[in-house]
Amino acid sequence: MIEAAELARFELFDRVDPHALGHLAARFAEADLGAGAVVFHQGDTDDRFVIVLAGTLEVVRGIGDQQRRLAVCGPGSILGELSLLRHRPRVASVSALSAVRLAVGDHQAFDELLSIAVVHDRLADTTARRLAEVARPLPLVLGDGTGAFVRPLVRSDRTRFAAEVRALLPESRRRRFFTSGTPSDRLIDYLVNIDYVDHFAWTIGSTDGRGLGTGRYVRDDAHPERAEVAFGVADDMQGKGLGTLLLGALGAAATQTGITTFVADVLEENLPMRKVFDKAGATWRRTDAGVVSATMDVDATRPLITAEQWDMFTAASAEIVTGATLAHHAGAAGERPDQRSGQDAGS
């Protein structure tokens, strides 16, 4: 039997009323599994999800030599919820790296979970992050013939992302951050702490694993139909069309979240970035000494990339945004998981 106190020690439940938590805990069964045991198989459809009480699990996508580890999850992690939420086969497997103790719930337990407001709000956030983490890299060929891929930037990219930002030449950092100094750990944390609805970021990498650039938008709280865009491109890749590609990719993502206008502050001397925004019909105004602000319609970013690329980026971002939206609506409306449709993120 699962005790409410076991759940209360985890962040997901730390603000839940004890009575409600006790009622929820009663919905779960207990499972103790040894190292190597499989919790979920890729391709399965069932109505289970688990909360890790002790031990470590890994999430793996693919078969045989094509397997890719997506995540390692410890106590307090919830896994399998996306399969219930979206009611489609799992696209990854979950197995135990050590002996594990799990709280196992079905769709009734999931309904109970989503009925707790503070929990469903947190789940909406983790749903988007999980979908971003398992998103398939989108292949493309750059103008110079370089094989590359685009995918959402995720928290596990932090170490690589920090190294790439700090490796930029001082002048490149000044154009990106308006200072040539080394970005702080706090700023790096902010740049990888993404919810994919109000803050979305794409990263471009080469097929040999090198990071080439990132582009992001951050919604304006006061004007939710507007978002500020920013880019960072490796020094030796500047002038090769990555900024234009990223602006088009961000436009595709923004169409899924109700954002209709992009804005950007740019150093007046940064002619390459100004040319990118001019391609999207930017209008300009001076906002500070040496700084100009661009405003452009999101719809105007569509011609910057091919129709195939636009559709590819739209579909990938829609998957992530829809997952977060479903989690919000499920908690608010009390829908049953088997009344929903979509694709599981694999956990």
User: What is the reported pLDDT for 145?
Assistant: 82
The answer to whether the beta carbons of residues 215 and 229 sit under 8 Å apart is yes
- The reply to whether 80 and 180 lie within a common domain is no
* 165 assigned to some structural domain: yes
User: Checking DSSP bridges between strand 78-79 and strand 29-33, what pairing results, if any?
Assistant: unpaired
pLDDT class of 338 with cuts at 50, 70, 90: very low
- CA 221: distance to chain centroid? 19
Least confident residue range of 167-176, 227-236, 245-254 = 167-176
Checking if the pLDDT of 246 tops 70, the result is yes
CATH of the domain at 32: 2.60.120.10
Looking at residue 245, its pLDDT comes to 94
Residues 75 and 175 in one domain: no
pLDDT at 324: 60
For the sheet containing 68-73, what is the strand order?
Answer: 38-40, 93-96, 57-61, 68-73
168: its two tokens: 């930029």
Q: How confident is the model at residue 339 (pLDDT cuts 50, 70, 90)?
A: very low
Tell whether 229 is covered by a domain.
Answer: yes
Residues 108 and 145 in one domain: no
Chain-centre distance for alpha carbon 16: 26
Q: Which is higher by pLDDT, 12 or 91?
A: 12
Give all strands of the β-sheet with 29-33 in edge-to-edge order.
29-33, 100-105, 49-54, 78-79
Q: Is residue 161 situated within a structural domain? A: yes
pLDDT for 94 beyond 50: yes
Inside any domain, residue 124: no
Check whether 70 has a pLDDT greater than 80. no
* Per-residue tokens: 65: 């030599």
189 plus 301 within the same structural domain:
yes
- Both 210 and 73 in a single domain? no
Please report the pLDDT score of residue 284 as a whole number: 95
User: Within this chain, do residues 23 and 85 fall inside the same structural domain, yes or no?
Assistant: yes
* 212 and 280 within one domain: yes
Average pLDDT over residues 244-267: 94
Average pLDDT estimate for 230-252: 92
Q: Tell me: do 283 and 167 sit in the same domain.
A: yes
171 and 289 co-located in one domain: yes
Say yes or no to pLDDT of 23 above 80.
yes
Query: Is residue 122, in this structure, part of any structural domain at all?
Result: no
**pLDDT of 5 higher than 70:** yes
The structure tokens listed for 218 are 């951050």
Which of 81, 115, 149 is the C-terminal boundary of a domain? 115
Predicted local confidence at residue 287, as pLDDT: 86
- Mean pLDDT computed over 36-55: 93
Residues 102 and 156 in one domain: no
Confidence of residue 326 (pLDDT cuts 50, 70, 90): low
The answer to the question of residue 214 being in a domain is: yes
Q: Which of 60-69, 138-147, 263-272, 312-321 has the lowest mean pLDDT?
A: 60-69
The pLDDT value given to residue 63: 75
- In this predicted model, what pLDDT tens digit does every residue of 178-237 receive, in sequence order? 777 788 888 888 888 888 888 999 999 988 878 899 999 999 989 999 999 999 888 888
Task: Kindly report which listed range (63-67, 75-79, 181-185) carries the lowest average pLDDT score.
Answer: 63-67
User: What's the pLDDT score for residue 271?
Assistant: 92
Q: Which pTM value belongs to this model?
A: 0.68
Q: 179: buried, middle or exposed (CB in 10 Å: 19+, 13-18, 0-12)?
A: exposed
Residue 261's nearest CA partner among 281, 275, 234 is 281
Is residue 32 in a domain? yes
The CATH number assigned to the domain holding 160 equals: 3.40.630.30
User: Of the candidates 88, 192, 138, 166, which has an alpha carbon nearest to the alpha carbon of residue 308?
Assistant: 138
The chain-wide mean pLDDT, for the chain, equals 85
| Beta-carbon contacts of residue 96 (< 8 Å; ≥ 6 apart) | 33, 34, 35, 36, 37, 38, 39, 55, 56, 57
Q: Averaged over 235-251, what is the pLDDT? A: 92
Mean pLDDT of 89-106: 92
Cα angle: 342, vertex 346, 347; to 5 degrees:
115
Domain of 187, in residue numbers: 138-322
Instruction: Work out how many domains the chain is built from and give that number.
Output: 2
Least confident stretch, 2-6, 60-64, 331-335: 331-335
**How far, CA to CA in Å, does 41 sit from each of 58, 67, 249?**
12, 13, 33
183, 311: one domain: yes
Query: At a CB cut-off of 8 Å and minimum separation 6, what does 114 contact?
Result: 120, 123, 327, 330, 331, 334
Question: Same domain for 99 and 160?
Answer: no
**pLDDT at position 47:** 87
Residue 323: the pLDDT is 64
Tell me whether residue 132 is in a domain. no
